[in-house]
């Protein structure tokens, strides 16, 4: 009996020893070839520099790692999808666009296109040459998403892919959008664009998980639009179009605080509306936009100054 047990034990010991040897041999062969800390170990061929860096491990121990093995942590969405859907508590974001200052420079558009990796031919911000009637003066009118309080796009979305947050921002969940384009038909401001083809994006952008607050990366067969840059506002910074405009056309702020700023100047929102007769586009449709316009009185630039940038 004891012999039998002994025999089986020794066999087990032999087998486990062999397995261990095999694993350690495999590990050893990996060790001098590949980076053990990388998920794409096969793709990397790191030669140690010899310079060690002290790090705090997840267990709270101080460990040393060769500098060559350090790499930046992959970009993760700053907020979860659930958080992005709720919005920033206590805020009600508004934008004011002063038409007297716009020269159709299109810096707002360029900054927006760049930061959101918008595809060729699509613009979330459009600058239109407007004229109320034949005998009135023309002016440049930048349009963004109006982030309406009664958004027609949100009403018609069958899957809740476009939604309105408590801070007044209307966003899109590209992971849920079915691409029916009903929101595009419903939007009277024509602010929505569609990714008709696979978006051309840098690899590291394309492989990021979609974040509703940055609207990056855009995905094939889904809808995109201006998002008021909620990722910037969460950090207490201004949207890209606001800070990119050298003429201070765009003001951004919080209705609850009653203040808007373009970075250089800050105004009471209610004062601006009262003193400069602010208005919203197509008020009669009942969409109640969050973007307010100041009329193009005493224009800083003649309309011709912007003609050369007008792409039509």
Q: What phi, psi does 171 have (nearest 5°)?
A: -125, 175
Judged by CB under 8 A, which of 50, 60, 72, 121 binds other proteins? 121
Residue 215 touches other proteins, criterion: CB under 8 A: no
| CB count in 10 Å sphere of residue 110 | 15
Nearer to other proteins, 91 or 164 (CB): 164
Taking the complex as a whole, the smallest distance from the CB of residue 116 to other proteins amounts, in Å, to 15
Output the six-digit token pair for 128.
């239109």
> Residue 189 in contact with residue 146, Cβ under 8 Å?
yes
Q: Is 136 in the site for other proteins (CB under 8 A)?
A: no
Q: Which two tokens stand for residue 221?
A: 């067969």
CA–CA distance, 297 with 294 (Å, rounded to integer): 8
- d(C-alpha 243, C-alpha 223), whole Å: 25
Contact residue for other proteins among 65, 68, 180, 255 (CB under 8 A): 180
Contact map string, positions 2 to 41, toward other proteins, x by CB under 8 A? ----------------------------------------
Query: Are β-strands 291-294 and 266-268 bridged in parallel, bridged antiparallel, or unpaired?
Result: unpaired
> Which of 91, 116, 126, 240 lies at the binding interface for other proteins (CB under 8 A)?
126
Q: Put residue 147 in one of left, alpha, beta given phi > 0 → left and psi -120 to 50 → alpha.
A: left
Per CB under 8 A, the segment of 53-61, 82-90, 173-181, 237-245 that binds other proteins is 173-181
- Residue closer to other proteins by CB (options 162, 262) is 162
User: Alpha helices of the chain — where are they, by DSSP H?
Assistant: 2-31, 81-86, 107-116, 152-156, 182-186, 203-206, 230-234, 240-244, 269-276
CB of 292 to other proteins, least distance (A): 16
- Binding-site member from 214, 222, 233, 290 for other proteins (CB under 8 A): 222
Q: How many whole angstroms separate alpha carbon 121 and alpha carbon 198?
A: 14
- Restricted to residues 148-167, the positions that interact with other proteins (CB under 8 A) are 152, 155-161
Contact map string, positions 269 to 288, toward other proteins, x by CB under 8 A:
------------xx--x-x-
* C-beta separation of 179 from 169 below 8 A: no
> Taking contact as CB under 8 A, which single stretch among the options 39-47, 55-63, 177-185, 263-271 is the one that binds other proteins?
177-185
Q: Does 250 bind other proteins (CB under 8 A)?
A: no
Residues making contact with other proteins (CB under 8 A): 109, 121-123, 126-130, 143, 152, 155-161, 176-182, 184-190, 192-198, 220-223, 281-282, 285, 287, 311-312
């Amino acid at each position: 009996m004891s012999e039998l047990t002994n025999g089986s034990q020794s066999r087990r010991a032999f087998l486990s020893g062999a397995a261990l040897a095999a694993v350690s041999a495999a590990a050893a062969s990996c060790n001098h070839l590949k980076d053990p800390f990388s998920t794409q170990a096969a793709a990397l061929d790191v030669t140690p520099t010899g310079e060690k860096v002290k790090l705090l491990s997840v267990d709270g121990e101080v460990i040393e790692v060769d500098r060559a093995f350090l790499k930046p942590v992959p970009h993760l969405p700053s907020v979860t999808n659930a958080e992005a859907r709720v919005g920033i508590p206590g805020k009600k974001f508004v934008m004011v666009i002063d038409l007297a200052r716009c020269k159709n420079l299109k810096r707002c558009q360029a900054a927006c296109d760049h930061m959101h990796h918008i595809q060729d031919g699509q613009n979330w911000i459009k600058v239109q040459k407007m004229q109320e009637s034949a005998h009135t003066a023309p002016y440049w009118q930048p349009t963004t998403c109006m982030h309406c309080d009664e958004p027609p796009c949100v009403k018609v979305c069958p899957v809740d892919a476009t939604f309105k947050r408590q801070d007044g921002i209307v966003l899109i969940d590209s992971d849920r959008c079915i691409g029916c384009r009903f929101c595009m038909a419903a939007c009277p401001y024509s602010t929505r664009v569609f990714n008709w083809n696979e978006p051309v994006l840098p690899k590291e952008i394309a492989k990021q998980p979609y974040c509703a607050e940055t609207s990056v990366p855009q995905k094939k067969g889904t809808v995109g639009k201006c998002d008021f840059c909620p990722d910037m506002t969460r950090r207490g910074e201004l949207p890209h179009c606001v800070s990119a405009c050298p003429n201070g056309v765009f003001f951004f702020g919080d209705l609850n605080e009653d203040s808007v700023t373009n970075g250089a100047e800050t105004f009471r929102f209610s004062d601006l509306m009262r003193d400069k007769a602010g208005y919203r586009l197509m008020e009669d449709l009942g969409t109640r936009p969050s973007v307010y316009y100041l009329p193009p009185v005493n224009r800083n630039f003649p309309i011709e100054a912007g003609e050369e940038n007008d792409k039509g």
